Structure 1
Amino acid sequence: MTLASVVANAAHAEDIAVLTPYISSVATNEIVETFKKDAAGKGWNVNVVDTRGDLQQLASRVEDVTNAGVKAIVLVSVDPKQIGDQVAAAAAKKIPVFALDGALAPGVTASIATDNFALGTILSDKLFKQLGGKGNIVKFYYSAHPGVHQRELALDKALAANPGIKVIAEHYVKVPGPIDDSRLAMETFIRQHGTEIDGVWAAWDEPAIGALLAQQSDAPDSKMVIAGIDGNPQAVDLIKQCTDLIATVRQDFPGIAHSAVTEIANVLEGKPVSKQEIQVEAKVVDRASLGVTCPQ
C-alpha cells in the first residue's frame, strides 16, 4: 500500500490505519492479517503501512494518516513512547490510537498484548529447569520492542534467583532479518565458546531458529537446550522434529487482533474501551504438549 493510496482512502468514514515497522515478523504479520479479516467483517477499510524497521518513517507515516483524518490508528509491535509526539497529535485530533503487542503510553486509547514479563519468566523457568539449574547460556534480545524488553527484565530476575546459570554471550538481534543475524552471531559464539554453551535463551522464536541452524551446521554433535517465545510455526515444527529447540511460549496473536477489533468498534460507536490495558493468555508449546516422544 503506497502512502498516496493511504491518504486518498482516508476520506472514507471507517478507514483504519494499521502501522508497523515489522510486518516481516511472523508474529506481527499474524496479528495484522487476523485484524484485517475481522475488520472486513465490520465493513472497515484497513490500510496497512510497513516501514521495514524504520521508526523515523513510522513517525512520519503516523503524521500522514493523522492529517488524513482516519477513524482510528493501530500500532502493531511498537513502543508508542518512541513516537510520542505523533501519538499525542493523533489524540489531540480525537483519533483513537490502539497499541497491539506494544505498550500503554500517553495518548494511547488501549494497549492489547500478552504479559511479556510473564512470558520471559515462563521461558526462563522452562530453560533453567531443563538445564537442571546450572549451565552456560547465550542470550538473544531486542530491547527496542517494549514487550521483548520486558522478557529480558524477567530473565534478569530469573538469573538473580538461579546463580548456577551464567550468561556467557549475548547478542542484540538485528531486525528485519533476525534469523540470519542470529545464525551469524551464534556461529561466532560457537567458535568462541564451543562445548561450553549449554543453552540458548531467545527473546522470540526467530533468534532461537537462527541459533539452532548455527548449532546444526557448526556444532552438530553438541547438545544444547534452546527455547524461544511466540509459537512460530517453524519453531513448532522444529520442536516436533526433536531438535535442540525444545520449547516456545505461544502467544494468542489472533486473540490480540480479535480484542482490538471489538474495542475499536465500541469506540467508533461512542462507547469507552473495556479497559486501557488488556492482556491475553499464553501457553507453553513443547514436546509433551505436542504429544511427541523423542529418542534419548
Structure 2
Amino acid sequence: MRTLTTLLAAGIFQFAASAHAEDIAVLTPYLSSVATNEMIETFKTESAAKGWTVNVVDTRGDFQQLASRVEDVANAGVKAIVLVSVDPNQIGDQVAAAADKGIPVIVLDGALAKGVAINITTDNFALGSLLSDYLFKAMGDKGNIVKFFHSAHPGVRQRELALDKALGEHPGIKVIAEHYVQVPGPIDNARQAMETFVRQYGDEINGVWAAWDEPAIGALLAIQSDKPDSKALIAGIDGNPQAIDLIKQCSNLVATVRQDFPGIARTAVKEIAAVIEGKKPEKSEIFVSANVIDRASLGVSCN
C-alpha cells in the first residue's frame, strides 16, 4: 500500500513536488482503529474505480504531526484532502489554509469546522443514546456502571453527552468509575484500567458503558482474567467484527451499535466526485444510519 507515512523523513517533499491532479490525500491519527481502517480501505477501493490515487497518512495519535502533514499535502496541490476520525477544529488553521487554496476538505466520522466542505458521519448523539438505553434496560434500569470515553474525538464526545443525558433520566444508574482511554492501544489501555476497577469494586460493577468497541473488548478481557464469574454487562459502539464474535460467544459483551463505515466511505467518494466537478454540496453534514447488534439480532441463544 502506498502511504505518505513511509515518506515522512524525506520523501514527503518528493510527494509535494510530484503530486498529480488525481491525488487524494487521506489523513488520520487513528489508522490502527478497526473502524477507521475499514473506512479508509473502502474509500481506497471506491476511489480506485474512479482512477484516483489515494495517499494515506497515519500520524499515530500525533495531532501536531497531523497538522504538519495537512500543510504538506495542501502545498503539494492534491485534488482533495480527506480527514478520517478527526476533529478538524484541532487543526483549524491548516484546514482553513487548504480550503483557501481551493482544495476541498472532506471529513469522515468527524465534525464541521471552518474550511470543511462536508462532514460525513453517524449521528453520534443518537449512537450514545442507543447504547445507553440498551445497556440500562438490560441492567433492569438500576446498578453501577464503569464508563470508558475519549473526548478528543468529536463523535465520541457526542456519545458521552448522550450518556450524561440518559443518566439524568435514569436515576437508578450510577457511574462509579470512569477512564479516558488512550489511543493508540485502546484495548490494552482499557484492560489495564478495568483490572484496577475490578480489584476496587468487584461485584459492585453491574455494567460497562464503552464509547466504542475496543475499550469494551479491553474491559471484557480484564473481567475474563480477574473475575470470570462477573455478571457485569458490557456494551459498545461500532460493530467491530471481534466484538460481534464475542457477543456470539455469550460473553459479558452483550451488544454493539453498528455504524455503516463502508457507507460513510462510499458517500464520501460520491460527494468528492461532485465537488471536483464544481458542484456545491447540498448539505454540509450527512448522517449515515446505524443499528444495534446483540444476541437476538444474531440469532444466538445463551443459557
Same fold per TM (> 0.5)? yes
Match of 2:46, SS?
helix
Give yes or no for the alignment of 1:74 onto 2:82.
yes
Task: Give the equivalent residue in structure 2 for 1:33.
Answer: 41
Deviation at 1:176, TM superposition (A): 0.2
Is this contact kept in 1: 2:147–2:209, CA < 8 A?
yes
Structure 1 consecutive aligned stretches of length 4 or more whose deviation exceeds 6 Å: none
Task: Give the equivalent residue in structure 2 for 1:252.
Answer: 260
Task: Give the equivalent residue in structure 1 for 2:244.
Answer: 236
Alpha-carbon distance between aligned partners in 2 of 1:159 and 1:206, rounded to the nearest angstrom:
23
Alpha-carbon distance between aligned partners in 2 of 1:134 and 1:280, rounded to the nearest angstrom:
32
Alpha-carbon distance between aligned partners in 1 of 2:187 and 2:88, rounded to the nearest angstrom:
25
Is this contact kept in 1: 2:128–2:163, CA < 8 A?
yes
Cα pair distance change 1:132/1:10, threshold 3 Å: farther
- Gap regions ≥5 residues in structure 2: none
State how 1:44-193 maps to structure 2 within 5 Å. 44-193=52-201
- Tell me which of 225, 229, 240 is aligned to 1:221: 229
Q: Which amino acid aligns with 1:62?
A: V
- Gap regions ≥5 residues in structure 1: none
Deviations 1:235-288 (A, max 9, x none): 000000000100000000000000000000011111112311000000000001
Match of 1:228, SS?
strand
Q: Which amino acid aligns with 2:226?
A: D
Is this contact kept in 2: 1:10–1:65, CA < 8 A?
no
Alpha-carbon distance between aligned partners in 2 of 1:274 and 1:105, rounded to the nearest angstrom:
17
Aligned-residue sequence identity (percent) comes to: 76
Deviations 1:114-158 (A, max 9, x none): 000000000000000000110000000000000000000000000
Give yes or no for the alignment of 1:212 onto 2:220.
yes
State the superposition RMSD in angstroms. Answer: 0.9
Deviation at 1:221, TM superposition (A): 1.0
Match of 1:109, SS?
strand
Deviations 1:35-75 (A, max 9, x none): 00000000001000000000000000000001111010000
Structure 2 length-normalised TM = 0.96
Stretch deviating more after TM superposition (275-284 or 5-14): 5-14
